[in-house]
Amino acid sequence: MSIQFCGWETYFDGRKHLKPGQQPERGHGYSMYHGTHKDSARAIITSGFRPSAGGTLGQGVYCSRVIQKAMGYPGNCSPNDRVVLLLRVRVGRVKKIDAQNWNLATTWHQNGYDTAWIPPSGGLEEDCVWDPSRLTVVGIAHCTDPGTKSDLEKLIKQHAKSQARADKGTQGNCKVCGKDGGASHSVDKCWGCAERICPFMVKHVCKQRS
């Protein structure tokens, strides 16, 4: 089967890990962490995040690029019941919340931003992402119980496989590009606009940049 390649009009950041104090850039994807109870972790992996109703940065999903920050959450949880999820986060349009912009601490999304970011000024940096679909669980960064960690990692793999199957039509054709899925190929979200894409598409124009 011959494949026509026309290039891609989207982009992502190969530097998945930011340096301390470095501001996330618009439209890029980064590795971050989220602390939760081990029972909640299962629901997050299979059904996605549910945004917090409130907090320092208002409504959204809270995460951090610093694992020590995530390991402190949830606060009312025993350390043995706490799990830190490794995430892939597409930050979209980012608003830095510092002393000069504190008036936007809980209204940043209404002003057109996808993520709010508190820099590490006297503490550990924190991010709040409005849309849960911008976060994908890709691993378990911390779990004191080896059995629980193994079960959660299996669940992550199972969910990824079921998502891949959902992206293929009943006749074995990929729902995204329409080509024969006999030769397996991955389907993922565009880092910029979250549209589902696969490498057999002739072209993808990122809505975030258009």
Sequence-distant (6+) residues with CB within 8 A of 197 are 10, 176, 187, 188, 189, 190, 204
How far is residue 130's CA from residue 115's CA, in Å, rounded to a whole number? 6
How far is residue 119's CA from residue 18's CA, in Å, rounded to a whole number? 12
How far is residue 42's CA from residue 35's CA, in Å, rounded to a whole number? 13
Contact in structure between 62 and 127 (CB atoms under 8 Å): yes
Q: What is the pTM of this model?
A: 0.72
- 186's tokens: 């991955």
pLDDT per residue as tens, the chain (210 positions): 444 433 444 334 444 556 656 777 766 788 999 999 999 999 999 999 999 988 999 999 999 999 999 999 998 888 899 999 999 999 989 999 999 999 999 999 999 999 999 998 767 889 999 999 999 999 999 999 999 999 999 999 999 888 777 765 545 566 666 665 544 566 777 766 777 777 666 677 776 654
DSSP string across 47-99:
H----BS-STT-SBEEEBS-HHHHTT-STTS-GGGEEEEEEEEE--SEEE-SG
DSSP string across the chain:
--------B----S--SPPTTPPPPTT-EEEEEEEEEHHHHHHHHHH----BS-STT-SBEEEBS-HHHHTT-STTS-GGGEEEEEEEEE--SEEE-SGGGGGGTTTTGGGT-SEEEE--SSS--EEEES-GGGEEEEEEEEES-HHHHHHHHHHHHHHHHHHHHHTB-TTSBBTTT-SBTTS----EE-TTT--EE-TT-S--B-TTT-
Comparing C-alpha atoms, which of 123, 137, 144 is closest to residue 66? 123
